[in-house]
Amino acid sequence: MISQAIYKDILAEYEKLTDDAKKKIELKKEICYKKCKRIKEIDDELNMTAIKISKAIIYAGKDEKQKYIEDIKNLTESLKKEKESLMAENGFSKNYFDDVYICNKCKDTGFINNKKCECFKQKLINKAYNMSNIAEIIKTENFSKFSLDYYSKQIDKENNMSPYENMKFIIRKCSLFVEEFDDKFKNMVFYGNTGLGKTFLCRCIAKELLDKGKIVLYVTAFNLFSIFENQKFNKDNEEINKEILNLVKEADLFIIDDLGTEFITSLSTTELFDIINSRILERKSTIISTNLSPDEIVKNYSNRIVSRLYGEYDMIKFFGNDIRIIKKLKNKV
């Protein structure tokens, strides 16, 4: 079964990640011990704790047992404190060992208390649908990289505003969305022509919220709709599809990129409506980006979807010239 193979692959990946992390920790320890021998002594001592306790349990007399164990615990505590201050004295920060992990939540094991970590679920999705890995993408794309330089300051007659002013306004809206995420339930539709930064902004928001520890699920409409189709017709991936559709409902923020590029069927629009509607009922935010105009949205999707979008979503219009083309032209000069 395909899903079993995918599971196996992912588990193997985690095994490698934890191995790598172990190696990195060993290297970091070496650096640490070189600077301060006492830290090594403490670590060695601490590593003996479990053995000492079991010895005490086996060999100590009934009355002494409790006292022995108490002593060992006290010693362990004081050693830990000593180590902490020695680390600080020698210039090692408290999270000196933290950056060895790609996911600090599960320490690259894929599991937290026997439950799958979000990073595991994201891997599942990526594997099953070859989706672009959001964690990788947003290493390079974030708000600080967003430049307004390519947006024209000339007033656009139809919109009574320059693309530059409009983008400034949109960026402010997006930062506010992130800032108020915990307190305000908001949904947005980014619409307008290609090459105006819609996808980029989606990813910026995703990054900011992932950094805040939120569960963010980012999918392209094309992939989302193939999940719907597979769930119905391809039983091989049943388990994974179920997992993904759960995540779609549970995620703190759900982003559907490029709505309108998918192959629309009546099944898929029903599924899409269910997701949009259940997230509204649960008061969980969703962002949709699309190149379709409002007229085209009305034409392509069911009335039920359209009414939810217009009723519960902020419709945010992007306009101006394709900045990717402008960037290319400028780079040539």
Contact residues: Zn ion, CB under 5 A? 103, 105-106, 117, 119
**Looking at beta carbons only, is 119 or 253 nearer to Zn ion?**
119
CA distances (Å), origin 247, targets 125, 141, 166: 10, 24, 33
**Looking at beta carbons only, is 30 or 211 nearer to Zn ion?**
211
Smallest distance from Zn ion to CB 229, Å? 29
**Looking at beta carbons only, is 213 or 242 nearer to Zn ion?**
213
**Looking at beta carbons only, is 13 or 156 nearer to Zn ion?**
13
**Looking at beta carbons only, is 83 or 123 nearer to Zn ion?**
123
Smallest distance from Zn ion to CB 112, Å? 7
Smallest distance from Zn ion to CB 284, Å? 21
Residue 163 zone, left/alpha/beta (φ > 0; ψ -120 to 50; rest): alpha
**Looking at beta carbons only, is 101 or 190 nearer to Zn ion?**
101
Distance CA(255)–CA(269), nearest Å, equals: 17
| E-state strands within 171-233 | 188-192, 216-220
Whether residue 286 contacts residue 256, with contact meaning beta carbons closer than 8 Å, is answered with: yes
Smallest distance from Zn ion to CB 96, Å? 20
Smallest distance from Zn ion to CB 101, Å? 8
**Looking at beta carbons only, is 139 or 232 nearer to Zn ion?**
139
Nearest Cα to Cα of residue 128 among 245, 275, 254, 2:
2
CB atoms within 10 A of CB 295: 8
| 197 contacts: CB under 8 Å, gap ≥ 6 | 146, 167, 318, 323
Smallest distance from Zn ion to CB 18, Å? 11
Distance CA(245)–CA(190), nearest Å, equals: 23
Sheet holding 216-220, edge to edge: 216-220, 253-259, 285-290, 188-192, 314-318
CB atoms within 10 A of CB 36: 17
**Looking at beta carbons only, is 110 or 163 nearer to Zn ion?**
110
Smallest distance from Zn ion to CB 210, Å? 12
Smallest distance from Zn ion to CB 233, Å? 31
- Within the chain, what is the greatest distance between any pair of CA atoms? 91
Distance CA(291)–CA(315), nearest Å, equals: 13
Q: What are phi and psi of 111, to 5 degrees?
A: -130, 145
